[in-house]
Structure 1
Amino acid sequence: MKKIITLSFAGALSLMLIGCGIDGQKKEPTVKDETPVVSENATSAQGEAKSSGAAKTEQNNDTSNQEDMLRRMDELNYAEFELEVEYAGDIEYEVELEKKSIGTVKAKIEDSLNHVEKNGTEAFDELYPLVQKLNISQQMDKEEVITEVLKTFNLPTDYTKFDLEITFNDGTKIEFEDKNK
């Protein structure tokens, strides 16, 4: 048993000497040798701090974006704009722009004509200028509204179903619906 322990000790000592160099030269530390060792817990805490910081930045951006979207929504005549246009072959163009009572803005685009799906700020940035161009009033007839919307949104006129719901800032709601066969 003593022989095994002695041999193991000698083997370990040999490996240490080889690793350190046995030619008698003193090994000078290099930058690589002086790299601090960071424990796994410290690394994890740093990662969480970075993630938390990124989440806070993203949250601040979302808040800033919401404030900007709310401000811009106040410039429109509409508090809510929902458009759904259906075409043959189960193709749809659906958009929604809504100022919520909780102080947020909902924006979405589902466009199977162009294979586009967007939500949030990205959808808002695309929809807002289009909705802003519209000059729809409660006194307009259905044909005028449909023509203006299709032209503004650059949509084909061969729809099978057209449905537009608008809620004006004063709370008045109107709906324009049309079906082509």
Structure 2
Amino acid sequence: MLFVKMFIFQGTGKTFYMTRYRRLHIMKKWIYFFSIPLLALGMTACSNDPSVDNHPKEQVVPPPNENATTNDDLINKEDSGNKSDDGNVADMNAKKLMDNFPYRKFDLEIVYAPDMEYDFEYEEKNAEQGQYRAELNDSVHDKKLKGVEAFQTLYTLMQDVRIDENTTKEDAIQQIFDAFQLDTNYTKFELDYTMKNGKEIEFEDVK
């Protein structure tokens, strides 16, 4: 009889503990199930910092400011300075080159055909302020230069030329063709230049 009571008691105890274990297991599942959305909601609620955008897809990108000034724009504007499309230049950096250039005015025109010629013009305006006008129209090689580029090209080509008020026409023509490396089969050659001392010389040769 005692054995039977003990067996019943043990069976009842096992049933009690198993039932309690099942209840705890079910409660854990419910807690885990509800904890995930609560955690996500809590993270969203905590992000109230105005510097943090919780909706990045809704951000509006402002259009570029067309009036904004960039460093490249400043460089280009400063580089252009007072240079104009007609070949006139005011550039203090050119003063040294102008001082070394022996001519106040240099006008070279070589005609090969009615629509083919080589025309180089340079005129000093104000050496102290770096003002001059320079232009190259070369229809032989389909090339045009104005302003700084034209003057620098002329200055380079004339480095080995020694033409002054004592130079003969034949010598001047020969030096020009040697330095500029142009075809000598021209129909008209005209050179007009003014030295620093104001002496003006003109040469013309027609074939």
Give aligned-pair identity as a percent: 31
1:33 aligned onto 2:58: yes
Segments of 5+ residues of structure 1 without an aligned counterpart are: 1-24
Are the aligned partners of 2:164 and 2:195 in contact in 1 as well (CA < 8 Å)?
no
Segments of 5+ residues of structure 2 without an aligned counterpart are: 1-40, 45-52, 83-89
Are the aligned partners of 1:70 and 1:105 in contact in 2 as well (CA < 8 Å)?
no
Aligned residues: 148
The one of 54, 76, 79 aligned to 1:58:
76
Are the aligned partners of 2:111 and 2:118 in contact in 1 as well (CA < 8 Å)?
yes
Alignment CA distance shift 1:150-1:37 (3 Å): closer
SS in 1 for 2:94: helix
CA–CA separation in structure 1 for the residues paired with 2:144 and 2:170: 28
1:146 aligned onto 2:173: yes
Report Cα offsets for 1:61-108 as digits up to 9, x if no partner: 234982222321111111211100001353100011222138412121
CA–CA separation in structure 2 for the residues paired with 1:166 and 1:59: 33
Which residue of structure 1 aligns with residue 157 of structure 2? 130
CA RMSD, Structure 1 to Structure 2 (Å):
2.9
1:92 aligned onto 2:117: yes
Q: Which 4+ runs in 1 deviate beyond 4 A? A: 35-38
Give the TM-score of the pair, scaled to structure 2: 0.62
CA–CA separation in structure 1 for the residues paired with 2:116 and 2:197: 33
1:114 aligned onto 2:141: yes
How many angstroms does 1:167 deviate by?
1.1
